[in-house]
Structure 1
Amino acid sequence: MAPTAPKKPAQGNSKGTGSAGSAHSAASKDIWLAGLGAMAQAQAQAREQGSKAFEALVAEGLAFQKKSQAAAQEKIQEAAAHFNQLTQNLGAGLVQPVGAKVDRLEHLFEDRVARALKSLGLPTAQEVAELQDRVAVLEAALANAKVKADAKAKANAKSPARKRVTPAK
């Protein structure tokens, strides 16, 4: 409570009411001072309650900020995961059609090259492979015939040559 000022002796008013006027004046002054004291007390309580309320609001604000930041971070992570999944799906969707188009283009190119070679009279890769197989078979048969011929020649070389007797005519 605010200290009150000591009472001053009441001075007479100019109308000369005397002690009744001074008592009235003192009572008015006391009421005035009581009102000032009540106002000072109310302000002190308001400051105290206001600071407590302010501190409570700050604490609630911090809690709300933490919750909202956590929720926002969670939403950001969900969005990033969804975005990554979309980009992976999109990438896979693009790679497969491109691969199919490359294969189709490759076959188209091979067919055109084969037609151009045929029109020039050049053999295809399959015809060349068949020809190589035939040459390999012929080389094997030739080597086999050569071995047999060499063996026959050796056998003939070992035995002496017979003289032919020609009958006289």
Structure 2
Amino acid sequence: MAKFKKTAKKSARTSKASAQQAEQLSRTLSESAQQVWLAGVGAFSRAQTEGTKLFEALIKEGLKLEKNALKFAGGQADAVRGAVENKVGQARERATDTWDRLEKVFEDRVQRALIKLGVPGRDDLAELTRKVDTLTAELRKQGGKAAPRKTAKAVKKPAARKTRSTPVS
């Protein structure tokens, strides 16, 4: 029985110590919770008073950053615009050169086709005009007397013009 009393005393002491530890832990947790609550209330109060100032400071900083970004982007946009205009100019020159060459080839082929068909060219018409002018001048010298008219049967048709046979490429 003596043993039982000793064990009971020990367990009573241990349970008293445990209760004290639990009570102390409870107090510590309560105090910590109270401090967290007070810190939150203090942060809220400070945010109310300094929040407007902080918000305005953030707006100013954002404006500065935006201005710098626009300045940088504007410079880059000018460089890109210049490069694009340069490339467009080169493409335009190439297209013009190609168009001129195509036009020249087309004119050459049309000219060859007209020659093959026997259509008089610019030089032929100029020669014919010169001959008509010469004949008109000769007629005026003779005093405007026209040569006797021949009938339609007596007038010979001019010989067909010889054409060059050059292959069309």
TM-score (norm 1): 0.48
Larger C-alpha radius of gyration, 1 or 2? Answer: 1
Higher relative contact order (CA 8 A, sep 6+): 2
Query: Under a length normalisation based on structure 2, what TM-score does the superposition of the two structures give?
Result: 0.48
